[in-house]
Structure formats: C-alpha cells, structure tokens
Structure 1
Amino acid sequence: MNTRRTIEIFSAGCGICDDTIKLVNEMACPSCEISVLDMKDKHVATRARSLGIKSVPAVAIDGVLADCCSGRGVDRDTLSRLGVGDPG
C-alpha cells in the first residue's frame, strides 16, 4: 500500500532554507510529493499563517506543521524585554 504524502516546504530562498529543501529531498520516498513554496508570494504567506508558521524554513506534512517547525519566530514581548523600543 503506497500512501501519498504531501510535503510543503516554506522557504525564503536563504541558505538555511536550501539546506532544509536538500534534507527533505534526501529523505523523501517515491510516495512523497514535495512542494517548495516561496514566502514572497502573498498566497503562500497566507497559507503559512493558516498553519501557524512564524519562521522559515518550515515543513508541513499532509497539511500539518511539523513539530520541529512550531513555536519559533519573533516575539514582541521578548524583544521589548531586551530593550527594543526603549531609548535609554
């Protein structure tokens, strides 16, 4: 039984994103359908937000954000605690 697996890689075209694309392609099996999505495209960015993506690279498998890709990104409270916006 070959179950098709849909893999979406959200990329900004950076070197680290390229490393992730390479890794996923190395790991993929014949049943994996891989799409590399450019975050500069507004439709891709909208899709990424709907999955909870806060930073790239990120990988979604069968429409679910991989655990390794969640919970990251810029956080306003952390930046504020570190002095962003505080002139003094």
Structure 2
Amino acid sequence: MAKKVEVFTMRTPLCESTVQAVKEMVCSRCELIIYDARVNEDKETANSYNIQSFPAIAIDGVLTDIETLKKGKLGRYFHKKVIDKLKQLLT
C-alpha cells in the first residue's frame, strides 16, 4: 500500500543518515518528501507538526516519534530491514 512519507531534517549527519535509510527502503509507490527545517517554507511545515527534535518522520500525516522508531513499531509501514537500520542510526 502506498504511503506518504515525510522526513524532516536539520541536515545534521544523523538526519542525513536517516534520510538515506528511508530513501533506500520506501516502496516505489510511496511518496517521499524531504523537508529541510532550516528553509522557511519547510520550517512552517515542521511547525505545523509541532516537531520538537530532528530527524522526524511523518507517515500519512501522522508524526512518528523517535521512541516508536527505536522500538520498531513501524513494521506495518516498512520492511524489517528499514526498522533495523533506523534503530541503528538512532541509538
């Protein structure tokens, strides 16, 4: 099932690694949008989600917190390899 995946970054090394991991793993039907929260338009979008820390990922308009990523509760959206890679990056 195609999903809208939004990744919010501040272009830090952790953010860039997270972006790369998500790019490699989302399905070909998924819509992937990368936001740079340092850019005004993207900052407004990040603010609309009330993002407190970066990187951040929203799936189908729902912000997914880093703790959820670390615990691997996104299995219904991503293949297990994605979760494992993101958990490695975020721990």
TM-score when normalising by structure 2 = 0.65
Letter in 1 for 2:21: L
Kindly report the root-mean-square deviation, in angstroms, between the aligned alpha carbons of the 2 structures.
1.8
Match of 2:65 in 1: 67
Larger radius of gyration: 1
Residue 64 of structure 1: how far off its partner (Å): 0.9
Q: Structure 1 vs Structure 2: percent identity of aligned residues? A: 35
Q: Moved runs in structure 1, 4+ residues, more than 6 A?
A: none
Residue 69 of structure 1: how far off its partner (Å): 6.5
For structure 2, the 5+ residue unaligned runs are 69-91
Q: How many residues align?
A: 68
CA distance in 2, matches of 1:34, 1:15: 19
Match of 2:49 in 1: 51
TM-score when normalising by structure 1 = 0.67
Match of 1:27 in 2: 25
Residue 39 of structure 1: how far off its partner (Å): 0.8
For structure 1, the 5+ residue unaligned runs are 71-88
Residue 15 of structure 1: how far off its partner (Å): 0.5
Residue 4 of structure 1: how far off its partner (Å): 2.7
